Amino acid sequence: MRPILVINSGSSSLKYQLIDVDSSVALDSGLIERVTDHAAAFGQMLAQLSGPRPLAVGHRVVHGGSLFSAPTLINEEVMSEIENLSALAPLHNPGNAAGIRGAMKVFADLPQVAVFDTAFHQSMPASSYRYAIDAQLEKEFGIRRYGFHGTSYSYVSKKAAEFIGIDSSKLSAIILHLGSGASVCAVKNGKSFDTSMGLTPLQGLVMGSRSGDIDPAIIPYLERVAGMSTNEIDQSLNKNAGLLGMTGESDLRDVESRASNGDQVAIEALAVYSQRIKHYIGAYLAEIGPIDALVFTAGVGENSSGMRAQVLAGLEHLGFNCDKDLNEFRSSQVRSISDSGTQILIVPTNEELEIALQAQSFI
């Protein structure tokens, strides 16, 4: 048995799982909320944690910038870089860093390993990650597409390849990570070739409370006509947009329930949500050519047969033929829902296990 403690620390919460990487089994897990002192939260976690003492601690870190393309053993230099990257992920990296410092106090003798959401996407070519902006601004401020959900894509791409029966280094797929946060990744030869999120997790698909793609000129327009500050607009686009902005509901299940009762606001929001996904599927097919599979994962992708059907409707000419009964069958296993043509897979993600597996090399 080789237990790894996996930490997902936010600004006011601490999620943890103790995972045996030999069996891929979670030995214990928990959530501590209303955290004001991360060191104290780790003390609380220790008091309620059951199971063997971990051999290492793996930390989810949202933004690794261009510096980190692999799991990294944390020292003070790495900590400083993670904290400096908070400018790129102000809603996430500060909480991640606070959790790491808390763990370093409580588990001072254990390897602390950072696993970055952005790392998987460091393989993208310049044609995918560059923005067409002033090159001096681009270079000075590190403005480029970084992408997120990389830990999920790393795990899911390997599971999809295993299901199909090919080596993961040969997989070409379009993976839809659809949850409260949502993104798409074009995987070519097992590596990220393009992804929908950008400099921050705000770009791309319509999400629970994030707008996804918008005309950038909307921001100065709102400053002029609505008198909103940059911070107010940032808050609005991240916290009060997406499904929440369109319907007053951030949970897709609630929007689907309203739509099933004929609510036109909800019906239109679902159409916007699914059309944006179709847009990226078409674009990525054009970019990477024939694929081995179209993959659904994360909360919405794994559990909403209605949204899967809505996304796939009209894509038959591209070779995506969904079997209605297979789509509506509920299972926690990797499975195919296609009746012909390109494989359409549902692959449950497990980011915590992937973090543990990546951290084990430092034991």
Active site residue ranges: 117
Report yes or no: 120 and 154 within 8 Å, Cβ to Cβ.
yes
pLDDT of residue 36: 84
3-116 with 165-351: one CATH topology? yes
pLDDT bracket for residue 40 (50, 70, 90) = confident
pLDDT of residue 172: 98
Domain boundaries, the chain: 3-116, 165-351
pLDDT of residue 274: 98
pLDDT of residue 42: 83
Residue 91 pLDDT exceeds 90: no
pLDDT of residue 159: 98
Residue 37 pLDDT exceeds 90: no
Question: What are the tens digits of pLDDT across the range 285-322?
Answer: 999 999 999 999 999 999 999 999 999 999 999 999 99
Q: How far apart are the first and last CA of the chain?
A: 12
pLDDT bracket for residue 87 (50, 70, 90) = confident
CATH of domain 3-116: 3.30.420.40
Question: What are the tens digits of pLDDT across the range 237-275?
Answer: 999 999 999 999 999 999 999 999 999 999 999 999 999
CATH of domain 165-351: 3.30.420.40
Residue 213 pLDDT exceeds 90: yes
State the average pLDDT for the chain.
95
Question: What are the tens digits of pLDDT across the range 110-147?
Answer: 999 999 999 999 999 999 999 999 999 999 999 999 99
